[in-house]
Chains A and B, each alone.
Chain A
Amino acid sequence: MRKTVLASLALLLASSTAFAQSASGAATDGKVKIGILNDQSGVYADFGGKSSVEAAKMAVEDFGGKVLGVPVEIVDADHQNKADIASNIARQWYDTQQVDAIMELTTSSVALAVQAVAKEKKKIDIVTGAATTDLTGKACSPYGFHWAYDTHALAVGTGGALVKQGGDSWFFLTADYAFGYSLEQQTGDYVKSSGGKILGSVRHPLSTSDFSSFLLQAQSSGAKVIGLANAGLDTANAIKQASEFGITQGGQHLAALLFTLAEVHGLGLEAAQGLTLTEGYYWNLDDKSREFAKKFFARTKKMPNMIHSGTYSAVLQYLKAVQKAGTDETEAVAKALHEMPVDDVFGRGGSVGANGRMIHDMYLLQVKKPAESKEPWDYFNVLATIPGKEAYIDPAKSGCDLVK
């Protein structure tokens, strides 16, 4: 009997791989095909997830459904935050299903793996869901683009704002993988260069549900700011439990370094109020952003965050580039993407650097108090606009060997 149980335990552990969704959609030539590959069932499913697929479809519809006279098709798959599953799907898409570009790619470890596959196969990838600056740094690709945000922009935005408010000593709670390290290091560097100091850090596994041990360590460090270098459900749980342990009441400030509208909605304003965060888009910014958001809401029943609107922008820009190049051949499209200015609901006055980084303005936002919120999803006050040149690393200093 016990053998059965042990075997079944192994089965459960292995099952997530076995249940990997395979990509859908028929393979035909004479089509422009875009693959949306992201986490659709795990901790980041609200962060991007199926709603990103909808955003991509909206972009195709807004473009007219066709480019160069051939239909545009969107396919999607769930990578479950696993780099091996993602690489397999990417290979399959590029090799046998005539997918021209893969986009979204939430989770840094996954995005790095897929960008490596894309580079090897000379195919386009546009990352909107992942954060690490390595994508346009040492791991950059002539066909790889990083669209919505990155760890540097988050560090400059949220980190910078808190240091200015006097938060000069930090303790980090860091997700134990590429993204967490990158975010912790860049925020730490920014804090130190502004005269602050780092008192310590602790690394937790992805998908941790109980943060109390880590929070106690952060509490006893006496740091003025506790930086949460994690994302999605992990950040939400950490914030919720921090208020339970009296951390914010005790005068320590929480910095959710990667936190978007979707997670604020899940956490509720009661627990999230007062948090400072950085996003590349806010739906209630002006008429233009509201117009897109209302259409998005009608399809998904939620308001878009920067991942969703960023994916919309990436798909739209890709189609414009294909049209400009007059072909879907990789080199020509990549060249067009590098040259064309970006101007849509998401990337206003944006441009693409030689390292593939799309440089655009970011917004420093603060979560409203429950009483200040006038309608559902009215969650943020815009504190400042961070110019793209400040938010993103100068391509010449990015460490990307494509920049001479």
Chain B
Amino acid sequence: MTMIFGIPLQAFLGQLLIGLINGSFYALLSLGLAVIFGLLRVINFAHGAQYMLGAFVAMLMLQYLGINYWFALVLAPLVVGLFGAIIERTMLSRLYDLDPLYGLLFTFGLALTIEGTFRYFYGSSGQPYNVPAALAGGTNLGFMFLPIYRGWVVVISLIACIGTWLLIEKTKLGAYLRAATENPTLVQAFGVNVPLLLTLTYGLGAALAAFAGVLAAPVYQVSPLMGSNIIIVVFAVVVVGGMGSIMGAILTGYMLGIAEGLTKVFYPEASNIVIFVIMAIVLLIRPAGLFGRDA
């Protein structure tokens, strides 16, 4: 049997693929964070909670309204996005003129409140959410058994990432957004409603987190803790990728997912710290992050 670094080629390929799948979640989540940070300069600590909300909204929609996975994939991000927009408009927008630390503390408090509320009602073991029938089962790739649902996650999150990148970098709306970040006063003078743009951006970021949450619901237990388990890793992804760099966040998400997957083969005990080790090294060598421009 062919061996790579002392492990069989088949296992190696399997782990690469698993890394890619987990990387999809990291990419999607760090993308939302990077959008919010890049355009609003807000460090959104509520991102994990919004991801968890996405999964819960999907689960509750199924339980109480009979809305299936496919509709939830669209509706849950809309609901959470709207919730995000309301939060931004009524509370977060008051903090823009203050030190960024205030926005951070606010979103952190918000995250604790949301998680605490859900834990009170649903406990920590979480609730089940089944894989939709059309994506159940799996195929044998020869080197591993790939659940169809996981393949779907890779494809759909790649589409969502590229779509968001195009929206911000290549469309007129995206150009307004970027301009509003550079110089809000001037853009406002041209008749563009800047506060509305910022509200939309925050809503978009929250919706992306919720979208990842719905995708995650059939894979992980829908649990109030699911957000806080993943959010620290996602922050590290954003730092490694370069703060505010959208493409950086996407690529780094996939890269770190793969790095983590491979660590789970060579030295599983280190799998939850490998990302932070990489973060420390990157910061030492390239303080602006892999894809960041020096401020």
Residues of A in contact with B (beta carbons under 8 Å apart)? 1-2, 4-6, 8-9, 11-13, 15, 19, 41-47, 49, 176, 202-205, 207-210, 212-214, 216-217, 219-220, 232-233, 236-237, 240-241, 244-246, 250, 262-263, 265-268, 270-271, 302
Q: Are A46 and B145 CB-contacts (below 8 A) given A5-B43, A213-B15?
A: no
Contact call B268/A204, Cβ cutoff below 8 A:
yes
- In the complex, A380→B187 CA distance in Å? 65
**Are A12 and B219 also in contact (CB < 8 A) when A4-B100, A49-B123 are?**
no
State in angstroms the CA–CA spacing of A188 and B21 once bound together: 32
Contacts of A219 in B (CB 8 A): 145
* With contact pairs A1-B243, A203-B268 given, residues A9 and B123 touching in the complex (Cβ less than 8 Å): no
Main secondary structure on chain A at its contact with chain B? helix
Q: Do A45 and B119 touch (CB < 8 A)?
A: yes
Give the chain B neighbours of A6 by CB distance below 8 A: 239, 283
A-B contact pairs, 17 of them (CB 8 A): A8-B45, A8-B101, A9-B239, A15-B108, A49-B124, A176-B269, A208-B271, A219-B145, A233-B124, A233-B125, A233-B126, A233-B223, A237-B220, A237-B221, A240-B220, A246-B147, A268-B128
A262 to B138 CA separation, bound complex (whole angstroms): 29
Which residue of A12, A43, A216, A263 contacts B14 across the interface (Cβ within 8 Å)? Answer: A216
Known: A5-B43, A13-B232, A240-B128. A220 touches B10 (CB 8 A): yes
Assuming the A-B contacts A209-B226, A209-B229, A216-B15, are A43 and B264 also in contact, with contact meaning beta carbons closer than 8 angstroms in the complex? Answer: no
Which of B14, B15, B149, B225 is within 8 Å of A233, CB to CB?
B225
Q: B45–A270 contact, CB under 8 A?
A: no
B27-48 interface mask toward A, CB cutoff 8 Å, 1 = contact, 0 = none?
0000000000000010101000
| From A11, A204, A216, contact of B144 by CB (8 A) | A216
The answer to whether B123 and A266 have CB atoms under 8 Å apart is yes
CB distance from B293 to the nearest CB of A (A): 12
New A-B contacts (15) at CB < 8 Å, excluding given A4-B104, A8-B108, A210-B219: A2-B287, A2-B289, A9-B232, A12-B232, A213-B15, A213-B264, A220-B8, A220-B14, A233-B221, A233-B225, A246-B147, A266-B126, A267-B125, A267-B128, A267-B221
Q: Which residue of A lies closest to B127 (CB)?
A: A266
CB closest chain-B residue, reference A51: B123
**CB distance B220 to A217 under 8 Å?**
no
* B69 CB–A CB distance under 8 Å: no
Knowing A4-B43, A217-B265, the reply to whether A270 touches B295 (Cβ < 8 A) is no
Q: Does B68 contact A (CB under 8 A)?
A: no
Contacts of A43 in B (CB 8 A): 124, 225
Contacts of A12 in B (CB 8 A): 45, 108, 231-232, 235
Residues of B within 8 A of A268 (CB): 127-128
A302 partner residues in chain B, CB cutoff 8 A: 123
Whole-angstrom CA separation of A389 from B236 in the bound complex: 51
For the complex of A and B, list the 5 residue pairs with the smallest distance between their C-beta atoms, beginning with the closest.
A266-B125, A213-B264, A268-B128, A45-B124, A46-B125
Min CB distance A21 to B, Å, is 12
Contact A244 B269 (CB under 8 A): no
- CB of B11 within 8 A of CB of A209, answer no
Q: Are B239 and A212 in contact (CB under 8 A)?
A: no
In angstroms, Cα B10 to Cα A208, docked, is: 24
By a CB distance below 8 angstroms, the chain B residues around A9 are 232, 235-236, 239
Question: Of B43, B108, B147, which contacts A244 at CB under 8 A?
Answer: B147
Q: CA–CA, A240 to B220, complex, Å?
A: 7
Query: Do B243 and A220 touch across chains, with their CB atoms under 8 A apart?
Result: no
Cα–Cα distance between A1 and B41 once the two chains are bound (Å): 9
Complex Cα–Cα for A216 and B149 (A) = 16
Minimum Cβ distance to chain B for residue A199 (Å)? 14
Kindly provide the distance from the CB of A395 to the nearest chain B CB, expressed in whole angstroms: 34
A216 to B150, CA, bound (A): 14
Given the complex, which residues of B lie within 8 Å of A13, measured CB to CB? Answer: 232
Number of B residues with CB within 8 Å of any CB on chain A: 59
Does residue B261 face the partner (Cβ distance < 8 Å to A)?
yes
Would you give the 0/1 interface string for B230-260, flagging 1 where the beta carbon is closer than 8 Å to chain A?
A: 1110011011000100000000000000000
When the two chains form their complex, are residues A266 and B128 in contact, meaning their CB atoms are under 8 A apart? Answer: yes
* B residues in contact with A202, CB < 8 Å: 268
By a CB distance below 8 angstroms, the chain A residues around B15 are: 213, 216
| CB contact between B220 and one of A44, A210, A270 (< 8 Å): that residue | A210
Tell me whether A216 and B11 are in contact (CB under 8 A): yes
Q: Which residues of B contact A236 (CB under 8 A)?
A: 125-126, 221
Assess whether A246 is in contact with B265, with CB atoms less than 8 Å apart: no
- Proximity bits, B5-26, A CB within 8 Å = 1, else 0: 0001011001100100110000
- One digit per residue, 1 when the CB lies within 8 angstroms of any chain A CB and 0 when it does not, for chain B 261-293 equals 100110011011000000000010001110000
Measured in the bound complex, the distance between the Cα atoms of B147 and A210 in whole Å is 14
Whether B188 is near chain A, meaning CB under 8 Å from some CB there, is: no
What 1/0 mask marks residues of chain B from 107 to 128 whose CB sits below 8 Å from any chain A CB? 0100010001001000111111
Chain A nearest CB, measured from B199 CB (Å):
22
| B131 beta carbon closer than 8 Å to chain A | yes
Check A246–B235 contact: CB distance below 8 A: no
Cα separation A209 to B108 with both chains bound (whole Å): 22
Asked if B185 CB lies within 8 Å of chain A CBs, one says no
CA distance A42 to B108 in the complex (A): 18
Interface: B130 (CB within 8 A): yes
Per the bound structure, the CA–CA distance linking A236 and B125 in Å amounts to 8
Contacts of A267 in B (CB 8 A): 125, 128, 221
Q: Using Cβ atoms and an 8 Å threshold, which residues of chain A touch B272?
A: 205, 208
- Rounded to whole angstroms, the CA-CA distance of A210 and B15 in the bound complex is 12
Taking CB as reference atom, which chain A residue is nearest B273? A205
| Cβ 8 A contact of B128, one of A213, A217, A271 | A271
Option from A1, A46, A237 in Cβ contact (under 8 Å) with B124: A46
A240 to B119: give the CA distance in the assembly, Å. Answer: 21
Instruction: Give the residue of A203, A212, A213 whose beta carbon is less than 8 angstroms from that of B269.
Output: A203
- The reply to whether B269 and A270 contact each other, CB–CB distance below 8 Å, is no
**Shortest CB distance A214–B (Å):** 7
Q: Which residue of A lies closest to B140 (CB)?
A: A246
Q: B225 is contacted by which of A42, A203, A217, A244 (Cβ under 8 Å)?
A: A42
A236–B223 CA distance with the chains assembled, in angstroms: 11
Q: Are A244 and B149 in contact (CB under 8 A)?
A: yes
What B residues does A210 contact at CB under 8 A? Answer: 18, 22, 219-220
In Å, the complex CA distance between A212 and B268 comes to 12
